[in-house]
A = this chain, B = another copy of it.
């Protein structure tokens, strides 16, 4: 092992770091369908989006032709505090699995937000500051996005209000304290602080919340308070744009050592990590310059790609947000309270949905206990305690590596290790105590929420 020329960790030099984000949509022949105004059914204009989102972010959201968008210097400087993230060669995991496959992972967890979410949070906070806003509102599920946004807002001196999905709020009291340490206020969702929250609580008194419903609350607060805008940590095109820094760094690191991956694997909730990780590789694929197997991994308890439908739907439970054409389980779908961690959004990025629909990528769903089994195995071998979300990708990567052992193929697998599990110990404890189970929605569950889809086009 010691004679290997490829180091355990590939770090880019500061001057090798990306200076522009890559806008995958510019290379798509079939563009993602536009967001629609739920009132008129017509594509949303920049003017209509301006009361919700910051101006420059609206421009990025709607821009599907510019290939590269320069990263402002202030953001590049912030990136330098915690990036580049390492591309790690999983030598120990390969040896343990006795696989001829070569496994790499891009580790985004070495920052206090604990995940890749900071890449977009700092960009969104920057544009809000540039626009002269007072603050921003958002939702958070597992808490990684909320933490990332708190850090970013603290850096730029912005007020930050976070609606946190109630089940996560209860499972992760310490997440709240990190956000408070960064000066944010955190509200469990659904709450009595918004009209939509009151309505949801009245209809579902015992609800543990959902990302869709926390979004509704955060949007309501942003649009009702002057000087505030709403920001979102996933799903949107702008987020995938910012997260392309993951894929660009990964590709630069691989190119540095002349490594050509065969399979690229990412976990998928709303698509922020997956869309960012695969961006430059998918670009090559779309342009016919290279081919890769690209695999989205989602939880069996919230399987939008593998069991959802490709249609226009609301992005939120309260049905006040724009309509997006995506793979969706229906905006009223709420994953079992048993489900640990993030990846609990009912839909999926429109960009990734279109690419999946057009056959450019695959999707698999994996069950929770097998995900934690992979997580524990990985923690013991590679020394990093992974987030439950990230562990979905670990599961799929291990499965592919075992397949290589069986076929003897020396494939090169790259997966995204989006974050750490330091705030997910309640879930780990359940797993350690043998009390974790898999709750998979029935066909009837999914049919019921899909039946409520809005009737569009």
Contacts and interface: CB of A to CB of B under 8 A. Distances in A.
Interface of A: 1-2, 7-9, 11, 13-14, 73, 76-78, 80-82, 88, 91-92, 110-112, 114, 118, 151, 154-155, 173-174, 177-178, 180-183, 376, 379-385, 420, 422-423, 425-426, 428-429, 432
A1 B81 CA distance: 13
Nearest to A90: B81
B380 A154 contact: yes
Contacts of A13: 7
Contacts of A77: 1-2, 8, 91
Given A180-B432, A181-B385, A425-B174, A112 B420 contact: yes
Q: Give the interface SS of chain A, mostly helix, strand, loop or mixed.
A: helix
Copies in the complex: 2
B383 A432 contact: no
A283 B118 CA distance: 41
A82 B112 contact: no
A80 B428 contact: no
Nearest to A183: B380
Nearest to A112: B385
Contacts of A381: 155
A92 B82 CA distance: 12
B8 A11 contact: no
A178 B385 contact: yes
A103 to B, nearest CB: 13
Contacts of A380: 151, 154-155, 181-183
A16 B80 CA distance: 22
A14 B9 CA distance: 8
Contacts of A376: 181
A80 B14 contact: no
A81 B92 contact: yes
B80 A9 contact: yes
Contacts of A91: 77
Contacts of A92: 81
B174 A112 contact: no
Nearest to A386: B112
Contact of A112 (B1, B76, B384, B426): B384
Contacts of A155: 380-381, 383
